Structure 1
Amino acid sequence: MSTQRKKFIALVDKAMDDGAKMAPEDLMFSYKGILYPSTVCSPETFKALESFEARDDDVFLAGYPKSGTNWVGQILTDLVTTSSKHTENFNRVDDEELEEFPYLEVGDAEKYQRMENLPSRRVIFTHLLPHNLPASVLKSEAKILLLIRNPKDVATSFYHFSNGLSPLPTYKTFDDFFTAFMNGEMPWGSYFDYVFEWNKHADKKNVMTVTYEELKENRALGVKKISEFFEFPLTDEELQEVVDRSSFQAMKENSTKTHGAMGSVLFRKGSVNDWKNFFSEDHNQKMDMTFEERLGGTKLGEKLNYGVYCKA
């Protein structure tokens, strides 16, 4: 197991332990009008984040929570690791002290100073809205893979995720959760705000959008497109190995080694259309109306193929 996984697991397990001891009202804090989990984020970290300097060869993955960022993040990390075999840095000795938790906004305020010592290419994940990213990210030539997923499956997955993790609020019923979700009272804010704001950047040459659904339908093609976008020098055989390692079943079986106590909650089903088991007619009507009002006619709204994946 890599040192990065050790640090990942240590941070996650500590957050689980801390969350179990905290009062419900202390689990979240608000920063610039958006809620974040107190166990892994802090106002001090967000203030320090403003000074983060992106590199042109950084590899970014942006996605709203429960859109599949841990799954696709492992794919991206695997692609970078595999492609490094073709570079002069392949034989470098890994230094545990140089590893950092991959989510940009998660960690302590000194994290960004340490990240300056990370070798290229850095793989960085984020759930942040584009205007809450450090200015250097969008000003740089760094490529960003934007991952989106249909809102009904995001909500369903988020409901189980939140109820299964001590650092996040719990909900007695799906109806209670649905109200919070539609009001944007969620960790990292509103789903609809997220997709709407990222839509403003969807046409940029250094931004590639991929949907969770298309990756589920044809993972091999999706991995190939991602590799080509980032210009990874992988052979067909190497690409297939990444595809094989990124099956949901393979990741689920390995989840405790890669994600610690959170693994079983993260990799629950990995399916499309699970929302049909939870959404009532009223939920469907409210979601359909909000989607049309906020995202109807937008490039990302169309890419989500709402009529196929979200109509009862």
Structure 2
Amino acid sequence: MTVQYVQYKGIKFPPGYNSVESLSFAENKFEVQDDDIFNVTYPKSGTVWMTEILSLILSGGDPAWNQSVLNSLRAPWFSTQLGLETAHDSPSPRLLTCHLPIQIFPKAFFTSKAKVVYTSRDPRDIVVSYYYFTKMCTTYEDPKSFNQFLDSFLSGDVPHGSWFDHIKGWMELEGRSNIFFISYEELKQNLRGTVERLCHFLGKELDDAAITSVVENTSFQAMRRNKMCNSTMLPKELMDQEKGTFLRKGICGDWKNHFTVAQSEYFDRVYQEKMQGLNRIFPWEQTGLVKSS
């Protein structure tokens, strides 16, 4: 079945939850509160993981909130019709989630004291995870093949737009005191250290036991068991988990099991071309994908 994507400012968004009206409202009219915390990612970059981490930090390490309230209610997708209503009803400090690129992000943010946590990830791993996700999520077009999806990803012709534009747009704000940049790879390498840094960024001082609780309850296995974040509560009409698992592997480097040599070389060429001028070394560039100067 053909999916009719919602088009907004040259970017396509999955139908159902998104509309031109909800996206325009998010950009132009959404009222940002000074204590808002935005969890911003490109799809398949660790969105659910960061939602769980931030939820636990806000609840002082107590897992009760994470284990009893759906993550979409704890951290509503405010740019969707349903998420906007939930966001309006949420007590402060609000935890808000989105995949919005910088040019569609709420304008009110830039004159506020609100904070953003932006999580990035190796784009090759994103391609693999996104490919499997689109096969099981009914509001996305089922890709004809991995090679076709790779082409679409590299050209930016996928829901939520170009990864390259997304990360470059957000990285232009690096250095602002109210934006925290972290990568999926850093979370895997040093979760506890990252949790401690996030606590400091958010002004939430947690003791060792509380931080340990955050770390233990955001392990991949703990999240896979938690029905409030593993998407098993979603109806089959939206997420067909017979076609795959929403929380699939949670590892770094899975792209090596999917890319051919030719696909890897092709990806490297496009990456180097599109990422030129971005004066930053990402963790995944230390093992390949090094930008030419």
**Shorter-normalised TM range:** 0.7 to 0.9
Q: Which residue among 121, 126, 145 is the counterpart of 1:154?
A: 126
The SS at the match of 2:59 is helix
Q: Quote the Cα distance in structure 2 between the aligned partners of 1:100 and 1:215.
A: 21
Q: State the TM-score, normalizing by the size of structure 1.
A: 0.81
Structure 1 residue 130: Cα displacement: 1.1
Q: State the TM-score, normalizing by the size of structure 2.
A: 0.86
Q: Percent identity?
A: 29
Q: Which residue among 62, 78, 83 is the counterpart of 1:104?
A: 78
Within a 5 Å distance, the mapping from 1:1-312 to structure 2 comes to 23-26=1-4, 28-49=5-26, 50-82=28-60, 102-108=76-82, 112=84, 115-255=87-227, 258-259=230-231, 260-261=233-234, 262=239, 265-299=245-279, 301-308=280-287
Q: Quote the Cα distance in structure 1 between the aligned partners of 2:92 and 2:262.
A: 49
The SS at the match of 2:21 is helix
Q: Quote the Cα distance in structure 2 between the aligned partners of 1:29 and 1:193.
A: 19
Q: Deviations over 1:251-306 (max 9, x none)?
A: 1122476522457632000011000111112221222122222224524x513441
Structure 1 residue 139: Cα displacement: 2.1
RMSD: 2.5
Q: Quote the Cα distance in structure 2 between the aligned partners of 1:114 and 1:173.
A: 37
**Which is helix-richer, 1 or 2?**
1
Asked if 2 retains the 8 angstrom alpha-carbon contact of 1:41 and 1:105, the reply is: yes
Q: Quote the Cα distance in structure 2 between the aligned partners of 1:256 and 1:225.
A: 25
Q: Quote the Cα distance in structure 1 between the aligned partners of 2:206 and 2:128.
A: 36
The alpha-carbon distance between structure 1 residues 66 and 257, as it changes in their structure 2 partners (threshold 3 A), is closer
Structure 1 residue 48: Cα displacement: 2.4
Structure 1 residue 101: Cα displacement: 6.0
Structure 1 residue 133: Cα displacement: 0.9
The SS at the match of 1:265 is coil
Q: Deviations over 1:102-143 (max 9, x none)?
A: 1221224xx646634432100011100111011011221111
Asked if 2 retains the 8 angstrom alpha-carbon contact of 1:255 and 1:267, the reply is: no
- Give the gaps of 5 or more residues in structure 1: 1-22, 86-93
Q: Quote the Cα distance in structure 2 between the aligned partners of 1:25 and 1:112.
A: 23
Asked if 2 retains the 8 angstrom alpha-carbon contact of 1:148 and 1:304, the reply is: no
Structure 1 residue 218: Cα displacement: 1.4
The SS at the match of 1:82 is coil
Q: Quote the Cα distance in structure 2 between the aligned partners of 1:206 and 1:286.
A: 36
